[in-house]
Amino acid sequence: MSTEFAPTAKLPELKSKKPCWPLKQLADRLNNLRGVPSLEDLNRWLSRVELTQECLNSYRSFKPSTYARNRVMKNEFAELLVLCWKPGQKTVIHDHNGSHGAVRVCEGVLWETIFERDTEGTLRYKVSHEWRGGGVTGADAPDIHVLGNPEVSGQNLITIHIYAPPLGKLNTYKVGSKEVGSTSFDFYMDGAGI
């Protein structure tokens, strides 16, 4: 089921970064939403966007201790981010607390490990995947996973993420534990990592 779009709306001003044309088109599409898009929509849009080095250069910003998040747009229905990861940087085990999301690998190698809770509620490993340039993966709610740039890759990683609705409070987990923690999206948006 496709999502309906409202009449064209102006793209909000970005802090010192102007999106390249393909990202602007994607941001415009998301800004024109009249409801939360499906995971299938997010996957399709990320699969079709054609990005260039020049486009990614506007968002190429790495941090020494954690991956960097660069917001392209956000409204009540969706959020578009470009993340930059150095080798060895990764998220903690987390879920999206009711939001679904899609990720596209632009450069580098993304490792994704998916977890599940057993009948007693203890977190355990389920499966791992490796995604390379152009690869798109999506996570529906509920989901529990870790994303990261493997240390052995020896190269930087750039990914594009769409979350719908935008992320708020996220749950965090530990393997072998029933414990569930939480953190707010604002806490890690500015570089604290999740």
Query: What is the Rg, in whole angstroms, of the alpha carbon atoms belonging to the chain?
Result: 16
Number of domains the chain is built from: 1
Tell whether 56 is covered by a domain: yes
Tell whether 7 is covered by a domain: no
Which domain covers residue 70, as residue numbers? 21-188
pLDDT-derived band at 194, boundaries 50, 70, 90: very low
Tell whether 11 is covered by a domain: no
CATH code of the domain covering residue 76: 2.60.120.10
Whole-number Å distance between alpha carbons of 39 and 69: 21
pLDDT-derived band at 6, boundaries 50, 70, 90: very low
Give pLDDT, residue 3.
Answer: 37
Tell whether 27 is covered by a domain: yes
Is the pLDDT reported for residue 143 higher than 90?
no
Percent pLDDT > 90 in the chain is 56
Tell me if the pTM is above 0.85.
no
Q: Tens digits of per-residue pLDDT, 60-88?
A: 899 998 899 989 999 999 999 999 999 99
Give pLDDT, residue 141.
Answer: 72
Q: What is the H or E stretch that residue 109 is in?
A: strand 109-117
Q: Which of 3-7, 12-16, 23-27, 152-156 has the highest mean pLDDT?
A: 152-156
Tell whether 193 is covered by a domain: no
Percent pLDDT > 70 in the chain is 84
The runs of H, that is alpha helices, within the chain are 21-31, 39-48, 53-57, 185-189
Q: Which of 21-30, 91-100, 157-166 has the highest mean pLDDT?
A: 157-166
Tell whether 3 is covered by a domain: no
Give pLDDT, residue 4.
Answer: 35
- Map residue 149 onto helix, strand or coil: coil
Whole-number Å distance between alpha carbons of 62 and 148: 14
Tell whether 1 is covered by a domain: no
Whole-number Å distance between alpha carbons of 166 and 144: 17
Tell whether 102 is covered by a domain: yes
